Structure 1
């Protein structure tokens, strides 16, 4: 049986006809009731979509509307009948305008009543039309009419609609987050996540959840300001998404290939430039990373990510003044960003402006006590053998001593927590010999010595 037989249609290049046939058959092969039939139907649908571009449309034979020869008593001119011998115009009855009529001579305007389209098919066709119009696709308001159709609120057919919609989304994934959230409001994807995982591929459901939650969001606002008119937008979005996936997997070289190709197609996407810059930074190409982050800033000057990442690159390049300029942009909007404050303090250390460095690092450490990076570089800036010291007040000395004690305690606990946890668990279950207690004390003392040694190295 061919894929067209399974779908119940003739071979066609019409994608819409294939989708309608699939939606119609889907009601007969429910994944829960007939998993094998559903699998065959799905495979036939996928195959038909791949074959459609290569199906040649059949040429229709032209209809012959020539009037037949005069007829009477079974004789015609062509059959040589007696009445067919005449050649004068008067030998034939006058022709009358023909019209399609019913049995009673009345005009038949409609040969048959059109079959009404199934509401689910109509819904899928409507959102498919929105998806095909890219500017409408990325506008959440363009989806409102479709999402308020009566079929969406039809509880009895909600299961059928969900299966049709999920099949649609499996092949039409490139949607902005507000649209995904609107779909979630209507179809409760997040609420029914566990049920969906039992019925659909895990990869599809996890993808939908990441788009709704924004954990893998790639924005579409840039396409409103700079429409992508002369490119294959689906190919571009695929490349952008593949690049993001490869970064998460740590395959940086492959990610660079995808993202560079996408950037050649459409260089106006700040999210793409940020990802490309991160790839260059992690592979050691700081100059290219600086250029990408600069492009991201030019495309979206109000967003902070570009400034933050470029500041880190310029710090690595020892361009401390430029890094400070970018950090000021971040701190103007987020004055308590401890990471930005810590990097700013390190820039002042690089410029050998130690008083400012200590003040900023101290501020960062007080906001998040302890902020590990700030604390470490504060210790370095306070190294009396490497840098000059200013007069330290008694209050500052007490705060410094308290911070040092807290840092050393956290270091010891970080090194010893597993030993302490195992000891306590065993002590509850068994009556341990005192030798185990002394072993634990020895481990803690050893780790305390290591923490003090690290602190001493940082301070001297």
Structure 2
């Protein structure tokens, strides 16, 4: 193991890189718990600085030496001296370093290479190399969690490898007792993909900007958007977009943000950009369809709904919005067909379908003649919904009253009170019906 392995970086001539690596090791790995490791870390730091300065001086000197033909000469002697010194350094430590510290150095090195960081196979290979010792060791889990608190920008597939290896969710309660609960929540969210942000757009792309700064801005924009903090969202999105413009997740967030602040034209441009990047995925086209409907562009919204239904024929959200569009366009026969399709897919009571059924049945709003079969279906839907609604209000009272009948002679006052509750619930159901049909 040489000094660069100890510091967890590639050989470099840059003093600031070496100092930064040393400080991070002190912060993340707590070498004060292991005096020998602390001593070795400090020694590695000093030797690395010495090597870096020698390399830098040798590079500068060699650039000044030319042969008789004007070609640059390499200083073979100095190169050999540096090589011998590095070999000596690599064998200078009689102390066998803590395997956890060595492992974390490898993790840090892999993380620093973004192209490899986002590849699940890179992490699988690293963990297989260390399969001979207990990777579920509580100390290792703690050190890994502390590492992830600082460096945690991975695609979901890599989080799956981390979870399979360290079993964070299996040990969730124990980890909550030793670490900040908010960060354990974060790990669980990433593993489950509940707030997933994709990394496909970075594949085979030259990363000539601060990628970790970008990923931080993107993630913060997502959380601020979910929290409704629009002013903060705008700042994060603006800075992130200056760094990178080809991320469909960022464009989708920009579209949602512009729609929320009333900039509909800019929102539409963002959703179009998302569709151009991912034409066969749901999110971009779905949000554009909703915006088109809001802008009363019903035919265009319907076209997007139909495109979504071509991708996934039983997509309930697209079916519901298409029913809205057909209804607004006065095409009630098509609306009823879509409503029936929705009912055939899912027979569970769904208030949206009942509302659509009521709208289609409301002769005051829609004056076209409705077929008798359609009227019967609408009446059946309305009746089923009203019965469901009434029972949702009254079932506890019915259950208690009937139960009392088996055990005691129910006083007349209780019966009167029970009937009053039943009548009141019936009146509430009727008012709901009137509100929905007028």
TM class, shorter-chain normalised? Answer: 0.7 to 0.9
Counterpart check, 1:147 vs 2:153 = no
Give CA-to-partner distance per residue, 1:151-190, whole Å, 9 cap, x none.
x542398233222212211100111111111011111111
Unaligned 5+ runs, structure 1: 1-10, 30-40, 42-47, 63-108
C-alpha displacement of 1:244: 1.2
Residue 448 of structure 1 pairs with residue 426 of structure 2: yes
- The answer (yes or no) to whether the contact 2:361–2:375 under 8 Å persists in 1 is no
Aligned partners of 2:405 and 2:103: how far apart in 1? 65
Q: Does residue 1:328 correspond to 2:318, yes or no?
A: no
Aligned CA distance change for structure 1 residues 133 and 212 (closer, same or farther; 3 Å): same
Give the conservation status (yes or no) of the 8 Å contact 2:390–2:425: yes
Q: Distance in 2 between matches of 1:146 and 1:61?
A: 32
2:265 counterpart of 1:265: no
Alpha-carbon deviations, 1:320-366, whole Å to 9, x = none? 11111111121112212222112111111222222212222233244
Q: Does 1:409 align with 2:422?
A: no
**1:5 corresponds to:** none
Q: Check whether the contact 2:357–2:381 (CA below 8 A) recurs between aligned residues.
A: no
Select which of 332, 356, 363 maps to 1:384.
Answer: 363
Quick check: which has more Rg, 1 or 2? Answer: 1
Kept in 1, the 8 Å contact 2:357–2:382? The answer is: no
Worse-matched range after superposition: 215-224 or 371-380 = 371-380
- Aligned CA RMSD, in angstroms, stands at 3.6
Change (3 A) 1:325 1:177: same
CA contact (8 A) 1:246 1:255 kept: yes
CA distances 1:118-160 after superposition (whole Å, capped 9, x unpaired): 322221111111111111111111222211123x542398233
Structure 1 match to 2:99: 119
Q: C-alpha deviations, 1:380-433, integer Å up to 9, x for none? A: 23222232344534x555433332221102222444567668879999999975
* Alpha-carbon distance change, 27 to 161 in structure 1, aligned in 2, over 3 angstroms: farther
Aligned to 1:299: 277
- Where 2:245 maps in the other structure, the secondary structure is coil
Distance 2:120 2:52 in 1: 42
In structure 2, runs of 5+ residues without a counterpart are: 1-15, 55-86
Residue 358 (structure 1) aligned to one of 323, 333, 336? 336
Q: 1:342 to 1:61 in 2, by over 3 A?
A: closer
Kindly indicate whether the alpha-carbon contact (under 8 Å) linking 1:196 and 1:205 is maintained by their aligned counterparts in 2: yes
Asked if 2 retains the 8 angstrom alpha-carbon contact of 1:412 and 1:444, the reply is no
Does the CA contact (< 8 Å) of 2:360 and 2:378 recur in 1? Answer: no
User: How far did 1:28 drift?
Assistant: 4.6
Q: Which has the higher contact order (CA 8 A, sep 6+)?
A: 2
- Could you tell me which residue of structure 2 aligns to residue 16 of structure 1? 21
Number of aligned residue pairs: 378
Is contact 2:29–2:143 with CA below 8 Å preserved after alignment? Answer: yes
What is the deviation of 1:440? Answer: 3.4
TM-score by length of 1: 0.72
Match of 2:61 in 1: none
Does structure 2 retain, via aligned residues, the 8 Å contact 1:184–1:190? yes
Q: Are 1:284 and 2:262 matched, yes or no?
A: yes
TM-score by length of 2: 0.76
| Superposed counterparts of 1:417-436, under 5 Å | 433-436=411-414
